[in-house]
Structures are given as C-alpha cells and as structure tokens.
A and B are shown apart, each in its own frame.
Chain A
Amino acid sequence: MVVLISSGAAQAGKSAKAKGKKGTPAEAKKEAPKLPAEKLAKVRDILLGDDDPGAIDAAKALGQSGASNAMEPLVDLLSVGGPPARLEVAVEALGALGDPRAVDALEVYAGNHSPDLRRRAVKALAAMKDERVVPALLAALGDQAPDVRAAAADALAARKEAKAGPRLLELVKRNDAGAAPALGLLATPELVPQLAELQGSVDDNVIASALGEYLKRDDVADPLRVDVVRTVGHLSGAAATTALVEYIATVPAKDDRPSKKEAQKLIDDKGTAK
C-alpha cells in the first residue's frame, strides 16, 4: 500500500480542516495539498518501475491524494507508457484529481484501442472542469464501443452540453440505449416530437428511457410534460412503466400537477389492462 500524503501534505490537509473550522471553507478548498519533491520522485519511480502491484497502488494513491502536483507523475507514466493495467489506474486517478493539465494526455488515451481504457479516459475527461474536453466528449459519442459512448453521453448530459443533442438523437435513432437518458436530459422542446416520432423504428424501451429523463426535468412546462407522459403511456415495455413511476416519484406528494395525474392514470390503466 502506497501512502502518498507526506507529513507535510498531511499537515496541509489538517491545516485546511482546521482552517475550515475557524476560517472560510472556500479558503480551505483552494489550498490543495502538495507532495514534496522527494516523495513525488519516489512515487514516480514506483509508477515507472518493475513492481506492477506497487505501481497500481501508487497510481490509486495519487488519485486519492488530491495533491495539486499528483497529476505530474501520472502524466509521466502515460507519456512513456506501460502495462495496460497500470495505465488504466493512472487514467482513473487523473480523473479523480480533475486537474485540467492532464487533458492532453487523457485525450491521447481516449483513442486507445482498448474500449475499457477509452471509457476510463472519457470518464476522466468528463471530470475536468475545462471546456477543452467538450470536443473530445462529443467525438466519443461516435465511438464504436457502447460503453464509451454511454460514458461520453453521461458526461455531456452532466455538463448540460446542448451541442450534444443532435448527435445523441442520432444514437437513439440507432437504438443506442446508453444515449437515451442523456438525450432526455439535454433535449430541447423542439427535439421532443422528433423523439416521439421514432416509435416503430426504435425500441420503445430506448424512447421511454429518454422521455422518462425528460419528464423529470424541472425546466419543462407541465402542458408539454402531459404530452410526453401520454407518449410514454403509449409505449410498450417495462421501461415505459418505469419512466412513469419514476416521474411520479420525483413529484412532491402535495403537487397535484396534471402531468402527474395523467401519469398515474396511465399506470392504473396499464395495471387494469394486465
């Protein structure tokens, strides 16, 4: 087990906590711990050394450290390469650190032939608060591997990246279940009818999944939501019922909005039909 936080860094962490008690939390947040140079060099040696388990542990520890300079040895590892297992952990660790300086290295690994490594790289990129990652995430929607596309879709939805809407719609048209929730989260009102029109050509469960997410959004006017509820009600498959049930669950008990009533009615009807 590699323990990265040096006494200095640990002190810095403690100091931050202490400051948190007395000082402002924002101030405490700003001051990420920093690994001492000697420690950093040692960890770099482990990362690039012969000991696979040790290197993997070191990479994980760097990711968990939150240290402001923890990114450096990880990027060094990616830069010279190594066994895939080591690279996978390094990529994840960079995601955990969220340091935008790792974007370039992660973009390279988002093109690795291993779908698993690509997925991890996409997730790591998603963790970066940096606009530079958006093109890479949009590109990843075109990946051949469903898991990679789903990771990119989730990341773009989380970033509320409206530019992803048309590409997500294309994926849904190709029955890509992984893209459906993200599309529901990002769809504009204009895009909803297009989604509804896919009935018959796309799996109902995929459409229900997208519309189900759309229903849960706060920014949707209830009259439109009623229409969406009805559309979902017409869909077959478990996902449609789940979408309605989940929607009702998100609405406060006292809220008696028409879309909720409609959803309940449709669920009751479905139950009766059974």
Chain B
Amino acid sequence: MRTLAGRGLLASAARLGAVAMAAAALAAGCATSAYQRAGNSDDVASALGKTPAGTATGRPENAAGRPLAFLALGGTKGPRLAAYDLAESRVLWTQPAELKARVAVGPDILVYGAADALVARDISTGAERWRQAIAKGERLLGYAVDGKNVYLTVQEGGQHLHGGKASLRALEASTGGMRWRHEFSSGNVGAPAARGGLVAVPVQSQYVTLLDADNGEQLAQVLSSEEAATFVRALPEGLFFGSAGVFRLTPGTAAGSRKSGGYARAKLPEFVRPVYWFDLYRPEQGDYSALDRNRILWRMTPAGDARFRDDLAFVHNYRFFFGFDARTGELKWAYNHPESEAVASAVVGDAIAFVSADGDVGALDARTGARIFAAKLPGEVVRGATFDAEGWAPRGGAAPAPPLSETLSKIVWDPDRRFWDVKMFAIEELARQPGHEVTEQLLKVTEQQGLPAAVYQKAGEALIARKDGSAADLLARVLSTHADYAEGKSAPAVEILARAAGAMKATTAAPALVEHLRRPETPPAALTQIARALAAIGATDALPALHDFVTMYRADPLYDGDPTPLVAASEAMLALGGPAERQLLLYLAEEPHTVEPLRVHLRRALAQTAGAEARLRAAASTADE
C-alpha cells in the first residue's frame, strides 16, 4: 500500500521490488489513516505541475488526428466494432467484437473491456494487438488510455463489488506489457482518468488519488468533502472530478470546497437527470447503456474558475438535445432527432457529435443547435459509440436552426409517448415563446386525447398565463368538441380551458362553455371553472344555462358534500343576473330540499349583496322619476 505519508519509504521499497512487503510494513506503522494528507493543496499543486496546462481546443487522440467515431454495432450481423471517419463519412473498418465496456482511444490503439480481458486493437485496421486477461477472482473496474500507456483498475478478491483490494495497472499501449502496478488499501476504487503524466483514481467515493503516470507513485490525494467524487474525467482543458457538479482539479479544490470557485453546477430544469459523468465506481456504467442517452454534456473553459464553456450546458435526453445557459437555466436551443434515439453523444469542441440507434451520425452546432452534419450507416443497429473527434466542427451545408418554438412544438407532438417529462418541459418552454401560433400549439395540447393529466394542466396554465385574447376564437373552437362515445371522442381539458377562457375574457367561447355546462360528462371541477369563466366574461346569455344547472342539481345529494360547482354557478347568476335570478336564488335558499351547504352559501351571498341590490333599485327608481 502506498500512501503519501510514507512516500519516501515506499519509493525505496518500490525500487527494491518489494511493494508487498512495504505495504505490510506501512500498514503496521501507519495505523491512523491512509488519507492523512488528503486535501493538501500543496500536494495537488505539485502533482498538477506534472501535467500541461489546459487548452481551449484539442485534437483527436488518434495519431492521424482524424475525427473518428468507434461504433459498437449489433443486429443480425452480430456484435461488431467499427471505426467511422467523420470527416469522410465512411466506415474505415469493422471487426467482430463483443464489447462489455466502452471504447477508450489512444494514439495507436483503442481498448475496450471484453468478457474476461481488456482488448486492444489497432486504430488503423481494427486488428487485435493484445489482450490483458482478467483473472478469475479479479474484476475489471475501468480503464483509460493516455499517450503510450493504458491504465486499468482491477479488484482482486472479495466476493462483492469493491470487496477485497484493488490495484491500478499501467500497461504499455503498444504491447500490453506491464509497466507498473499500484496497490490500493481498499477495493473501493473506481475507473481511472489520465492526462499528461497524471493518473487520477477515485477512491472510497470521497477521495481522488493522483498518481505519477511514469511510475505509479502517489503524488496527492483530493478530499471531496462536500459531495461524493464518483467520477474523474480528463479533458483537453484539464482534469475534473465530482458527482452532482463538476470540480476542476486545482490546488483550490484539493479539499473539494464548492466555494472555491473551482466548482460548477449548471442550472437545469427538473426533467434533467443530473449525470455529469458516469459513476466510475459502477462497472456496469462502463458499458454503453441508457445512461449514455440521458445525461448532461459539458465542457469547461481551459483555465481559472470552473466555468462551463460559453456558459453552456447541454442535455442529451434520448432523442432530444437541449442547450442551456448554465448560469440562468435559460433554454437556448432544442433539437429533436426524428424517429430514433441518439445512443451516444459527446461535445467535441464547438460541435456535439451523436449517433443514433439506427445509424444516423450527426453533429449539432453547440451554440445554436443547428444540425451541421448528417450521415447514415444504412442497415446498422448501433448500441453505443465513443467519439475521438476533439476539435471537429463540420461546416457548410448546414441549414439554420429552426425557430425554438417550432422545435419545441415538434417535441410536444412527437408520437413517442415515453418522454412526458421532456414534453412537459417543452410545453413550459413553449409557453415562454411569443406569438399567436404558440397559443395555438398550447390549445392543441388541450385538445389531444389520452395525455397525462399533468400535461393538460401545464398547457392550460400556460394558456391562462398568456392571456392571449387574440386566441379566443381558437379557444372556442377547441371547446366546441364534446365527448361522443359513438365517435370515440373525449371532451378536451374543459376545466383548464374554462380557466383560460375566463383569463382571456374570451366572449366567443361562452356558447361552448354553456354547452359543457349542460353535458353529463363534464366533471365538477370543470363545471366550477365554467361558471367562474362565464361570470368573468360577463356572459349574460349563459343565465338560462346557469339557472338550469343550479336548479337541476341543487337538491342532488352528489353536491351535499362539495357544492362548489353549485356555489360557483349561483355566484355567476348573482353577478350576471337581475331581480329574477335573485328571486330564484332566494327561493332555493329557503327551499328545504336544497343541499344544506348551498343554502348556507346562498343566504350569506344574498345577504351580502342585498344592500347593493337595494341601492341599484333606488338608483333605477330615481332615474325613472
């Protein structure tokens, strides 16, 4: 076991090739903690001195510098691995391969986890170069490639995940030969990340151990004191770690303080799954999975405080991509990929590259969401992909991104019924957009059959908030639909539409509201809103319907428990009507069959308005004289 506390002793031991002995000795001599110096900013500063400064732009890892995508293919042709040249839109090679974990790319080789080995293939031909067997009793926890080395963390012993002990092994990328090996005191370590001579390994969920890529010597330990460090990630702009947010690895974040300025967390809507990177403690997340399709995509500025590049954070949600202002949460753009899910994506600089399950290869402009690249792998089923395309920014031939409202509408109307959280978000965002056509779209939502109630609610609330009087005719049209068993039709979301009609003062919607007031299927909550809307609109033509409603149900035990619709209707009668309505309500207030709560309400309401009524009568009388 190596710890910073015993660095001198262990360096000697390593040189003597007696690591195991030294570990035992250290274990005996260091009974306190292996993490005593964790969080030491000087140690971190010293370790970072070994790595180059972050850069704003990078290049692909592969030696040729070509923008490539490595695709895990499935389907009837069996499991295969393909290399795809994004610049030339062509497949370079395809090899049979059963991937159990993601591809990691180096200059000359790529590696991936197979059932019982880490396999390396030639990046130019796909031919197998070597394989590192994972012995029985071992578990491959993860791996990374950096330059001429491949690093893998392996659990040894222990029946359960993270039981036993773990080691980090450095292999020659060209041959697979062992360069060095670092033993951890715990089996609870995650997959590594490596960048410019430094290897970072998450340990015990709380620490990030930094090792010298040349010899495996431990250089520093980060203590993530305010949130778990479930990932480490190497990017051209630096090394990062975190879980619920992203820490840039700096001396300032050595103790994992969110207040250090080295921490960033994007402001994103509720539907977004807050996955900034894969949980490297969970080997299953090392494979291509649904997690690749539903996560946050991000890049950072190359230096200084942790800040998302261009203040943008991106969300990949299956078929949808969104660009957000990471500081405010404002939606900047949206992209709806038609028909199939994007199974993999990556921010490769100014572009977001993605590939869909049915072989669409694409790229979006990270600033606008415009589709800037489109290619197709016909007849292929893509399970996942790794992009080695840093700096790739295809230009030319790209159509400008459609208006945001148009894309959001498409998302709302997408026939795929799985993504209601996204659609709810799209409705919410749509509501923020100006224009009569947006109101129309929101109304269209309320017209649709079989949507979750929350969707109607969301669209309706947006309509109410818009108070778009110019949409009154549209509203009336939507409300003119009724339930009809013979035609298989349901009523629209009357409750929410009635509220919108009231808010809009939609006079033209009054007849349709009256129709719903008279219909048997209209639920009590909608009846209440209809009555209120009619009052708000000043729909005196609705008085007969209100009369019929109140009288027909005023003695119905159904309303004994909750007379709200009757109360609302009688209120509307008082507001819109005259002496005749008042007289009727007086009768109903005294008639013993009227449900008691309504009687109580009517008595109170009539008493409260009696003075005003008398004054009106007196005024009318004076005017007549």
A interface residue numbers (CB < 8 A to B):
50, 78-84, 87, 108-109, 111-113, 115, 118, 141-144, 149, 167, 170-171, 174, 176
Contacts and interface: CB of A to CB of B under 8 A. Distances in A.
Interface in B494-553: 518-521, 548, 550-553
Across the A-B interface, give the 4 residue pairs with the lowest CB-CB distance, nearest first.
A142-B484, A81-B551, A111-B518, A170-B486
B486 A111 contact: no
A4 to B, nearest CB: 22
Contacts of B593: 50, 82-83
Contact of A141 (B486, B548, B587): B486
Chain B binding surface, main DSSP class? loop
A167 B552 CA distance: 29
B378 interface: no
A108 B488 contact: no
B487 A170 contact: yes
A180 to B, nearest CB: 13
A84 B548 contact: no
Contacts of A82: 555, 593
Contacts of A149: 485-486
B483 to A, nearest CB: 7
A108 B552 contact: yes
Interface residues on B, range: 20 to 34
A113 B519 CA distance: 8
Contacts of A79: 551
B551 A174 contact: no
Interface string B579-614: 000001001100111000000000000000000000
Contact of B587 (A80, A87, A113, A143): A80
Nearest to B548: A108
B139 interface: no
B551 A144 contact: no
Given A111-B520, A144-B520, A81 B484 contact: no
B458 interface: no
B483 A144 contact: yes
A77 to B, nearest CB: 10
A87 B558 CA distance: 15
A143 B485 contact: yes
B486 A84 contact: no
B554 interface: yes
B556 interface: yes
A78 B588 CA distance: 13
Contacts of B556: 84
A260 to B, nearest CB: 34
A50 B593 CA distance: 8
A143 B551 CA distance: 22
Contact of A144 (B485, B557, B587, B588): B485
Given A82-B555, A113-B558, A174-B488, A142 B548 contact: no
B485 A109 contact: no
B551 A84 contact: no
B520 A142 contact: no
Given A50-B593, A84-B555, A144-B485, 15 more contacts: A80-B584, A80-B588, A81-B550, A82-B593, A84-B556, A87-B552, A108-B518, A113-B553, A142-B487, A144-B520, A149-B485, A167-B486, A174-B485, A174-B486, A174-B488
Contacts of A142: 482-487, 489
A144 B489 CA distance: 10
Given A111-B520, A144-B520, A171 B555 contact: no
A81 B520 contact: no
A163 B554 CA distance: 36
A82 B555 CA distance: 5
Contacts of A83: 555, 593
A213 B289 CA distance: 60
B485 A111 contact: no
A80 B551 contact: yes
A118 B554 CA distance: 17
Nearest to B484: A142
A183 to B, nearest CB: 12
Nearest to B522: A113
Contacts of A170: 486-488
Contacts of B588: 80-81
B484 A112 contact: no
B517 to A, nearest CB: 9
Contacts of B482: 142
Contacts of B519: 111
Contacts of B592: 50
Contacts of A112: 520, 552
A122 B64 CA distance: 82
A149 B592 CA distance: 34
B581 to A, nearest CB: 13
Nearest to B523: A113
A82 B593 CA distance: 6
B366 to A, nearest CB: 51
A149 B484 CA distance: 11
25 contacts: A50-B592, A79-B551, A80-B551, A81-B550, A81-B553, A81-B588, A82-B593, A83-B555, A83-B593, A108-B552, A111-B519, A111-B520, A112-B520, A113-B520, A141-B485, A141-B486, A142-B482, A142-B486, A143-B485, A144-B520, A149-B485, A167-B486, A171-B486, A174-B485, A174-B488
Contacts of A171: 485-486
A81 B520 CA distance: 16
A84 B554 CA distance: 10
Nearest to B488: A174
Most chain B beta-carbon neighbours within 10 Å: one of A84, A113, A176: A113
B428 to A, nearest CB: 32
